[in-house]
């Protein structure tokens, strides 16, 4: 690696490469599940309609299924938000279960309203009319399935979050992960595990390491991706190594102060308080 370009050791096996592979695997797993489930649902619907003596165009059945899938994909950020913020030990088990149960109602309502809107629009383009019955009856019918779908998606996202945050076991013989920081004619090999915090400084970031501060030409977002899940953002312009945090004091405003093992105190913004658990 040339000295005018910094990065973590290990190439694709480093922190950022590992997370990219995990995200790709999770995306493929989710896509595979959706495809298999969609085919199963479509075939089940066709069989049910045939037993009832009804004939329906395959395009209609696929539209019903795909409109439902599209709405769940759009609702994934909301489900992810619930999983990230309403989970033990941050919230007691009883309250977490109640909160997630309550969340199924508005999310199901959005799911039903959205897929009906999609179907109405596509049917209109086909010169046909989509009949969905009464809105309340439709919601009650769909809610039972939506509650199960929410549970499955929340479980998937919880496992995905845990897996992304989990560090791969590193063989003892493997060299310690380092960050290369050019400084004039010198390139510092900074052990990632020895970095306490980093902060934005114009076109650079300040990196606190071994009682000194180094300037590294990078954005804070790019550096955080390189360093991996062991570092968390506590402010729009500041990240900290989670294992270096000794104490967290939260103000009435929600802003907070973290004290590191070496006595350094850093201010954090309330919007990032949940990153420290």
Q: What is the pLDDT of residues 31-87, one digit of tens each?
A: 888 899 889 888 888 888 888 888 888 999 999 999 999 999 999 999 999 988 888
Q: Please say if the pLDDT value at position 111 is more than 50.
A: yes
Q: Please say if the pLDDT value at position 192 is more than 80.
A: yes
Supply the mean pLDDT for the chain.
Answer: 85
Write the class of the CATH domain 177-276.
Answer: mainly beta
At 33 the pLDDT is 86
Q: How much is the average pLDDT of 196-221?
A: 91
Q: Please say if the pLDDT value at position 15 is more than 70.
A: no
At 30 the pLDDT is 87
For helices 93-125 and 58-85, angle between their N-to-C axes, nearest 10 degrees: 150
Higher per-residue confidence, 137 vs 73? 73
Least confident of 48-62, 149-163, 167-181, 258-272: 167-181
Q: How many residues does the chain have?
A: 277
Could you state, in order of their start, the residue ranges of all structural domains in the chain? 57-165, 177-276
Q: Please say if the pLDDT value at position 2 is more than 50.
A: no
How many Å apart are CA 29 and CA 32, to the nearest integer?
5
- How many CA atoms lie less than 13 Å away from 261 in the CB half-sphere? 11
Read off the pTM: 0.54
At 4 the pLDDT is 39
Q: Tens digit of pLDDT for each residue in 158-172?
A: 888 888 777 554 444
């Amino acid at each position: 690696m040339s000295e005018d370009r910094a990065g973590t050791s290990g190439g694709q096996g480093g922190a950022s490469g590992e997370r990219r592979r995990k995200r790709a695997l999770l995306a493929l797993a989710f896509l595979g599940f959706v495809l298999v489930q969609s085919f199963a649902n479509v075939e089940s619907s066709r069989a049910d309609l045939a037993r009832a003596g009804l004939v329906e165009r395959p395009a209609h059945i696929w539209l019903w299924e795909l409109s439902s899938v599209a709405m769940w994909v759009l609702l994934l950020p909301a489900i992810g938000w619930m999983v990230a913020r309403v989970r033990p030990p941050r919230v007691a088990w009883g309250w977490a279960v109640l909160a997630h149960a309550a969340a199924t109602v508005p999310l199901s309502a959005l799911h039903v309203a959205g897929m009906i809107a999609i179907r109405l629009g596509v049917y209109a383009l086909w010169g046909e009319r989509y009949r969905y019955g009464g809105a309340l009856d439709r919601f009650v019918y769909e809610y039972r399935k939506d509650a199960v779908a929410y549970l499955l998606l929340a479980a998937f996202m919880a496992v995905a979050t845990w897996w992304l945050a989990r560090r791969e076991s590193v063989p003892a013989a493997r060299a310690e992960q380092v960050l290369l920081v050019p400084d004039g004619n010198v390139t510092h090999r900074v052990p990632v595990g020895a970095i306490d915090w980093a902060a934005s400084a114009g076109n650079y970031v300040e990196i606190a390491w071994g009682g000194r501060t180094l300037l590294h030409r990078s954005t804070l977002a790019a550096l955080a991706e390189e360093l991996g899940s062991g570092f968390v953002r506590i402010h729009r312009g500041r990240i900290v190594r989670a294992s270096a945090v000794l104490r967290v004091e939260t103000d009435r405003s929600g802003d907070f102060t973290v004290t590191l093992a070496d006595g350094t105190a850093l201010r954090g913004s309330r919007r990032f308080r949940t990153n420290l658990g």
